[in-house]
Amino acid sequence: MEKAALAVIILTYNEENNIEACIKSAEFADEILVVDCGSSDRTCELAVLLGAKVLTHSMGTGGFAGQRNFALDNTMAQWVLYLDADERILPELAAEIKEIVEKNEPCGYKIKRLNIMFGKQMQHGGHRPDYVTRLYPRTAVSWDGVVHESPQLSVPVKKMKYAMQHYTYTDWNKYFTKFNQYTSLMADKMRSRGKKAGILDLTLRPVYAFFRFYILQAGFLDGTFGFVFAVLHAYYTFVKYLKLKYS
């Protein structure tokens, strides 16, 4: 029986500060495929130098799901692992992934993600460690969603033992650039579903967003950062509904 191959798929846009460490953490894979949506920095150049296959594909109306589905059409590997440019596969996780691919059983896998924000690993609140479904047989998955996209799987899902690191933000300018991008995408998504925003959405939803992050999810245990990111999530919620109402 032919040995199953693994492709690690990385979506990028101006990730020259992240792409090298990301690719190096995935060097155990049979193929590394970078799908770039028009970077103006050295992202693509660096990826090619590190041996990755690089394709350029416009984000378009399909959003992030469209990018991920495009990647699926451009690899023949039996298994795919999606990795963001700011994520790192630790050696223990790499060994676990290789073992799963070698067994080649029809199943998807959730990976625990340790979120590191401005150098601090978050333990609580909305950025506490979470699970993301990223490893699966290529023919068993498709993606849906313009932003906060989700995989649609035709196989059962299990949790993996080991975790990966997620260096979410290291620069406030980039944080607010993504903040603006994501609030716009979410407003467009809600509008496409026929949703509207009123005064209660602009007032009560942000308050609850803060309460959920800071109290219900114990963000206060993360100290100052826990408070800061609870406030920012409330503001994110407010801006999302503001754009829905007025743009």
Residues 201 and 156 in one domain: no
CA distances from 112 to 39, 44, 96, 123, 214 (A): 29, 28, 13, 13, 22
Q: Is the pLDDT of residue 210 over 70?
A: yes
CATH number for the domain that contains residue 102: 3.90.550.10
Asked which of 125, 147, 169 is the last residue of a domain, the reply is 169
Q: Is the pLDDT of residue 75 over 70?
A: yes
Is 199 within the bounds of a domain? yes
Number of domains in the chain: 2
Helical H runs in the chain? 19-25, 43-49, 63-72, 91-103, 172-192, 199-211, 223-246
Residues 39 and 137 in one domain: yes
Residues 165 and 216 in one domain: no
Residue 87 pLDDT grade (very low, low, confident, very high; cuts 50, 70, 90): very high
Residues 19 and 130 in one domain: yes
User: Which residue type occupies 204?
Assistant: L
Phi/psi at 223 (5° precision): 70, -145
- Which among 64, 60, 31 is positioned nearest to 47, based on CA atoms? 31
Residues 183 and 155 in one domain: no
Residues 42 and 164 in one domain: yes
Which has the minimum average pLDDT: 29-33, 110-114, 149-153, 230-234? 149-153
> What residues have CB less than 8 Å from 145, skipping those under 6 apart?
63, 64, 65, 189
DSSP state for residue 215 in the 8-state scheme: I
Is 1 within the bounds of a domain? no
The predicted model gives 47-68 an average pLDDT of 89
Asked which of 117, 151, 169 is the last residue of a domain, the reply is 169
Instruction: Specify the pTM.
Output: 0.84
Res 59: pLDDT: 82
The predicted model gives 215-240 an average pLDDT of 96
Question: Are 68 and 37 contacting, i.e. CB atoms less than 8 angstroms apart?
Answer: no
Query: If you average pLDDT over every residue of the chain, what do you get?
Result: 93
Residues 143 and 160 in one domain: yes
Is 29 within the bounds of a domain? yes
> What would the pLDDT profile of 154-189 be if each residue is shown by its tens digit?
899 999 999 999 998 888 998 999 899 999 989 998
Is 226 within the bounds of a domain? yes
Which has the minimum average pLDDT: 75-89, 164-178, 230-244? 164-178
The predicted model gives 42-67 an average pLDDT of 91
Is 184 within the bounds of a domain? yes
Residues 43 and 10 in one domain: yes
Residue 20 pLDDT grade (very low, low, confident, very high; cuts 50, 70, 90): very high
Residue 115 pLDDT grade (very low, low, confident, very high; cuts 50, 70, 90): very high
Residues 179 and 229 in one domain: yes
Please give the residue range of the domain that contains residue 117. 6-169
DSSP assignment of 136-152, as one string? Answer: EEGGGEEEE-SSS-EEE
Q: Which two three-digit tokens encode residue 69?
A: 């589905």
Residues 163 and 200 in one domain: no
- Location of structure tokens 């699926």: 72
Is 159 within the bounds of a domain? yes
Is 208 within the bounds of a domain? yes
Cα gap 11→33, rounded to integer Å: 9
Residue 1 pLDDT grade (very low, low, confident, very high; cuts 50, 70, 90): low
- Location of structure tokens 């959003």: 63
CA distances from 85 to 22, 157, 219 (A): 6, 24, 26
Asked which of 169, 197, 231 is the last residue of a domain, the reply is 169
Q: Residue 99, exposed/middle/buried by CB under 10 A (0-12, 13-18, 19+)?
A: exposed
CA distances from 46 to 35, 52, 170 (A): 13, 9, 20
Question: Are 149 and 97 contacting, i.e. CB atoms less than 8 angstroms apart?
Answer: no
> What residues have CB less than 8 Å from 67, skipping those under 6 apart?
11, 35, 37, 57, 59
Residues 205 and 161 in one domain: no
Residues 129 and 33 in one domain: yes
